[in-house]
């Protein structure tokens, strides 16, 4: 399981430094989560202003 950033992402970058496994990086038009690195902790969802990271 992993979190997935949906299209609501406004590329603010707030989630990237919060991820304990550095699974988040800036993608094309939004930030993206590497599903193989994500440990499902939910820290990204906790800081996102638009609730873009969602558990899958």
Q: Interface residues with ligand SF4 (CB under 6 A)?
A: 3, 5, 9-15, 18-21, 23-24, 31, 33, 38-44, 47-48, 50, 52-53
Q: CB 42 → ligand SF4: shortest distance, Å?
A: 5
Q: CB 56 → ligand SF4: shortest distance, Å?
A: 10
CA distances from 13 to 1, 18, 25, 28, 33 (A): 22, 10, 9, 13, 12
Q: CB 22 → ligand SF4: shortest distance, Å?
A: 8
CB 31 within 8 A of CB 9: yes
């Amino acid at each position: 399981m992993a979190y997935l950033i949906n299209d609501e992402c406004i590329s603010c970058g707030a989630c990237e430094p919060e991820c304990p496994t550095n699974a988040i990086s800036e993608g094309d038009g939004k930030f993206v989560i590497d599903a193989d690195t994500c440990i499902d902790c939910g820290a990204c969802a906790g800081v996102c202003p638009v609730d873009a990271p969602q558990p899958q």
